[in-house]
Amino acid sequence: MLPLFSIAGYAEEAAPPAGPEPSRRFLAIPYPFFNDTIGAGVGAVIITEGYIQPQVLTVTSVLGSVDGTYLGFFMMRNYQAPWFQRVILEPQGSVGKFSDIKSYLRSNPAFPNERPGSNESSEDNFLESDGDDYWVELTTKYLLPIGHGKTSVFPRLVLENGIYVSGDTGGDTWNPFTSGRTYIEVTPFFRKQSLDDDENTVQKTAGIELALRYDNTDYRGNPTKGSYQLVFVNRDWGALDSTSPYTSVGGEVAKFFSLGPSKHARQRTFAFNFWTSYCPTWDSSHTENGETVFHRPPTYRGANLGGLWRLRGFPATRFYDQAAIYYGLEYRHTLRWNPLAKRTWDGRLDVDWFQVVAFGETGRVAPAWNLSTLHEDMKWSAGAGIRSMVNHVVIRVDLAASSEDVIAQLFIGHPF
């Protein structure tokens, strides 16, 4: 429903390089904003590097739209626990109020025999409502002492204006014991989404995500070669008055192919992404106050497609079900042209590059994880974008078309 709260997927995109960087950098700038879901607005962002610890990056942002939407967001990356150097803490959270948002949770009365959000559902089967949304995630990452993680916690990289040159990181060979970094991640999470509709609909979840991540890219902030893999399991036990208990599992694979420089490009990269999710508790249930409560995740947490990260030509959580599958392909063309290369604001601003991107995506949701079903009647979107790396944070503008809409979005982070 609310694309801004998919920002958790941006976790790895903001990681600054370790190495001979300026000890501290503080940037505060206003910016215009547009997203087809919440409209136009203005905001301000504060990006800090090197405060608290040399490798720590923080992003704090506030935003208000002409339609009455407003939110605040905070994120910290790469904080090294002082009592155990292999433990990295990365908290993030947000609070916001939204106006006239499309919700595919409850059915439009005009479609009485159709479940909203299903793969076959009509694009008009939604309800509009104001609402509140707030969440927090407290990620703790443990770096295993294998591969490049055996000798250093953070990669020591040599970058040339945001592009990897050399350093103790992956990209050449796939072997967790000799290359790349492997993390065990534990993330307690809480989120509550309330709609001001006639039923005062609430989706609330509280639980823990356990994940195993192998990062074998050359530079995670802007990968040009290598790959990463992730497997995860989410569990909500019904604590803190959550909507229902549930379990969901899934995995992701990304692969990056470098084509090298050209006459007009500093770097050219093909990026491929595969993602899937499944809820094994979908059909289990219990009775509460005389009503059946199914053990299913909220629409924004489980197997869903649409929004800022997957099937960008559709609204956020346009599709959701027990299972989902997704494929994405991007061509990233990093320009030699950079009109802001020498604009530094006394060292506070660092614009590394501008990039033009073309992408295509396909995927679908289904009432069961069946390989044949998941590859029938798949949805698609395609488009182009412009991106820039500002103080080690990727800023992107995407224009994506699908069979239902053409959607423009301005946001942060590569989608994968």
The per-residue pLDDT for 17 is 54
Confidence of residue 11 (pLDDT cuts 50, 70, 90): very low
Which of 4-18, 190-204, 307-321 has the least mean pLDDT?
A: 4-18
pLDDT digits (tens, 9 = 90+) for 230-240: 999 999 999 99
For the chain, give the secondary structure using H, E and C: CCHHHHHHHHHHHHCCCECCCCCCEEEEEEEEEEECCCEEEEEEEEEEECCCCCCCEEEEEEEEECCCCEEEEEEEECEECCCCCCEEEEEEEEEEEEEEEEECCCCCCCCCCCCCCCCCCCCCCCEEEEEEEEEEEEEEEEECCCHHHHCCCCCEEEEECCEEEEECCCCCCCCCCCCCEEEEEEEEEEEEEEECCCCCCEEEEEEEEEEEEEECCCCCCCCCCEEEEEEEEEEECCHHHCCCCEEEEEEEEEEEEECCCCCCEEEEEEEEEEEEEECCCCCCEEEECCEEEECCCCCCCCEEECCCCCCCCCCCCCEEECEEEEEEEEEEEEECCCCCCCCCCCCCCCEEEEEEEEEEEEEEEECCCCHHHHCCCCEEEEEEEEEEEECCEEEEEEEEEECCCEEEEEEECCCC
Q: What percent of the chain has pLDDT over 70?
A: 94
Q: Has residue 23 got a pLDDT over 60?
A: yes
The pLDDT value given to residue 36: 67
- The answer to whether residue 40 is domain-embedded is no
For residue 15, being part of any structural domain is answered with no
The pLDDT-based confidence of 228 (bands split at 50, 70, 90) is: very high
What mean pLDDT is predicted for residues 291-317? 94
Q: Could you tell me which residue, 415 or 412, shows the higher pLDDT?
A: 415
369 lies in some domain: yes
Mean pLDDT in residue range 317-325: 97
Percent above pLDDT 90 for the chain: 75
Q: How confident is the model at residue 345 (pLDDT cuts 50, 70, 90)?
A: confident
In a domain, 230, yes or no: yes
Write out pLDDT tens, residues 143-176.
999 999 999 999 888 989 899 998 888 888 899 9
Task: Evaluate whether residue 113 is within a structural domain.
Answer: no
Of residues 19 and 371, which shows the higher confidence score? 371
pLDDT value of residue 107: 85
What's the whole-number average pLDDT of the chain?
91
pLDDT surpasses 70 at 13: no
Residue 67 lies in a domain: no
pLDDT at 410: 82
CATH number at residue 266: 2.40.160
Q: Where does the pLDDT of residue 355 fall: very low under 50, low under 70, confident under 90, or very high at 90 and above?
A: very high
Give residue 16's pLDDT: 55
Least confident segment among 17-21, 23-27, 211-215: 17-21
Decide if pLDDT at 296 tops 70.
Answer: yes
Please determine, for residue 381, whether its predicted confidence score (pLDDT) is greater than 90: yes
At 348 the pLDDT is 86
Reported pTM: 0.92
Q: Quick check: is 362 in a domain?
A: yes
- pLDDT, residue 84, reads 93
The whole-number pLDDT of residue 411 equals 81
Higher pLDDT, 333 or 16: 333
Assigned domain for 396 exists: yes
Which pLDDT score, from 0 to 100, does residue 344 have? Answer: 87
pLDDT one-digit tens code per residue, 82-125? 989 999 999 999 999 988 888 898 889 999 889 999 999 999 99
Residue range of the domain that includes 227: 77-91+133-412
Tally the domains of the chain. 1
Given a cut of 90, whether residue 7 has pLDDT beyond it is no
